Each structure stands twice: as C-alpha cells, then as structure tokens.
C-alpha cells in the first residue's frame, strides 16, 4: 500500500501529536476493502480551483498532501476564507449535491476522492464511518468557533500570531526543535491568503509581520520561512486562553 494510503487511513500516525482526522482511522479490513473500491486520486497545481461554490459535487475527499482553502466571496468581491484543509482533512458533505464554497489548491495538492453515492451507502451500513465523520465535523466546528473569536475580537497583531501558531502546531516540522521551545516552518499561504483567513487586508498583514519581526517574536528568512525562537511567547501574543487550541 503506497504511503498516501497509509496516511489517509490513519495508520502511520501512532506518534502524531495532533488529533488524527482521517476518515477511517478505526475501520476494519472489510470496510477498508470497500473504501478501496470507490476511491481515486486527483492532483491539482498550486492556485488551481478544485471546485467552485455551487458546482455539482459527486465526491467527498480527503487531503493527502498539500493545502487547500475554502473561501466565500460576496458579489462585490470581498473574500473570507472559511476553511483551511491540511493533509488528512476532509471536504464535502454527504447529503448535499452542490459545493457550498470555493475550494482552491493553495499549494500543489493531492486529494483522495470517494465517489459520493457509494460512500453514503457505506456510511449507512457502517456506524464507524458516520461516527468518525461526526467526530471530525465536531472538531471542525470547534476550529470554526475559535476562528470566530479571532475574527470578531482579536487585534491584527493577535490574529497574525494566532495564525502562525495554528500553522506551526499542525506542521510536522514542528517536532524538530520542540524541546527548546523553538520552531521553524514554511508559510503555505501568500500575504493575501493570510489576509483572507484573518479578515484583514494584505497590507495590514505585511505590516504586522514586520512588527512581530522587529519585536523579536518571529524571524523571517525570505518571505515564507518563519523561525519562532519561543513558541510560548508567540502563543501569548495570540491572546489565547485555551489549552493550546486542542480541547479534550
């Protein structure tokens, strides 16, 4: 079984520090066999649109590698990102024929798609899958609510710090230096995408990034590589009172 299958199915992550989000982490062999029959892979280049809001969507999918975004757009062009999909995250809604948001590849992207009809059938037969999906959806709902606090009440500086710590936490390379409290990672988003995530303009994002750099909270190498000397300090800047963003 190729690597991405393992990742998708959640069996290579015994030491994964974050809650694992793949669809069928607890499926048995027979169920896996059935999923095997209805799945196929699709690749997208960075910047490519996966689906437009309103399009017919006859599959559900899981991100294998790369990053995708969900965004909403108003008639006059104002845009708000409403979802950031990292590897193992799930897209698509059983029981809805059309996509509700634009899905875009932020980086080169590989998705594992399941044909919707048979997936839904599998869901009615195997309680595991529905329950796992419920768990994942509840996690997403929690993330959305954390995000709402960010959008509604945080300052620009706090928003940036929050986003950086969210990305750092979900990025595997985090593990490299975690003992010392220092972290380094590559930003998968442009300044504009960050702005769409945070409900800011790209200019404000740029200014606040510079400010965090000036104040020694982060280091910048080029435009994308972020070095965080003290992760706790970053989290403090983010203004979070939660237990690091992962409840339970």
Partner DNA sequence: AATTCCGGTTGATCTACGTCAAAGCGACTT
Partner DNA sequence: AAGTCGCTTTGACGTAGATCAACCGGAATT
Q: What is the x/- site pattern for a second copy, positions 79-118, by CB under 8 A?
A: xx-xx---------xxxxxx-xx-----------------
Check binding of 223 to DNA (CB under 7 A).
yes
In the complex, least distance from residue 197 CB atom to a second copy, rounded to whole angstroms: 9
- Give yes or no for residue 31 binding a second copy (CB under 8 A): no
Q: Are the beta carbons of 132 and 23 closer than 8 angstroms?
A: yes
Binders of a second copy among residues 131 to 170 (CB under 8 A) are: 131, 133-135, 137-138, 140-142, 144-149, 151-153
Q: Cα(26)–Cα(24) distance, rounded to whole angstroms? A: 5
Question: Distances from the Cα of 148 to the Cαs of 45, 145, 151, in angstroms?
Answer: 30, 5, 5
Q: Determine which residue in the list 13, 220, 227, 233 makes contact with DNA, applying CB under 7 A.
A: 220
Locate 62 and state its tokens: 């899981």
Picking from 238, 64, 246, the residue whose alpha carbon sits closest to that of residue 170 is: 246
| Interface pattern 67-106 for DNA (x via CB under 7 A) | ----------------------------------------
| 224 contacts DNA (rule: CB under 7 A) | yes
Please give the Cα distance from 30 to 202 (Å, whole number): 49
**Among all chains, which residue has been given the structure tokens 């003992």?**
179
Side-by-side strand order, sheet with 219-221 = 183-186, 225-228, 219-221
Instruction: Say how many Å lie between the first and final Cα of the chain, rounded.
Output: 32
Q: Which residues of this protein are in contact with a second copy, per CB under 8 A?
A: 70, 72-76, 78-80, 82-83, 93-98, 100-101, 123-124, 127, 130-131, 133-135, 137-138, 140-142, 144-149, 151-153, 198-199, 239, 241, 247-248
Q: Which residues of this protein are in contact with DNA, per CB under 7 A?
A: 47, 155-157, 190-192, 199-207, 209-210, 220, 222-224
């Amino acid at each position: 079984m190729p690597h991405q299958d393992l990742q998708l199915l959640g069996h290579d992550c015994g030491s994964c520090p974050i809650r694992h989000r793949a669809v069928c982490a607890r499926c048995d062999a027979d169920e896996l066999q059935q999923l095997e029959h209805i799945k196929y892979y699709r690749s997208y280049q960075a910047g490519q649109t996966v689906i437009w809001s309103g399009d017919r969507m006859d599959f559900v999918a899981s991100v294998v590698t790369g990053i995708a975004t969900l965004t909403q757009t108003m008639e006059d062009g104002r845009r708000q990102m409403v979802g950031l999909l990292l590897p193992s995250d799930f897209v698509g809604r059983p029981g809805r024929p059309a996509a509700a948001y634009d899905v875009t590849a932020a980086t080169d992207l590989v998705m594992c798609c399941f044909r919707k009809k048979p997936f839904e059938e599998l869901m009615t037969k195997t309680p595991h899958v529905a329950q796992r999906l419920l768990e994942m959806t509840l996690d997403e709902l929690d993330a959305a609510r954390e995000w709402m606090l960010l959008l509604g009440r945080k300052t620009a500086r706090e928003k940036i710090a929050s986003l950086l710590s969210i990305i750092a936490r979900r990025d595997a390379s985090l593990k490299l230096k975690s003992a010392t409290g220092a972290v380094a990672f590559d930003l998968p988003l442009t300044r504009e995408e960050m702005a769409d995530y945070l409900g800011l303009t790209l200019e404000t994002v740029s200014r606040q990034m510079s400010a965090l750099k000036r104040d020694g909270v982060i280091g910048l190498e080029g435009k994308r590589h972020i070095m965080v000397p003290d992760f706790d300090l970053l989290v403090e800047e983010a203004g979070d009172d939660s237990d690091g963003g992962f409840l339970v």
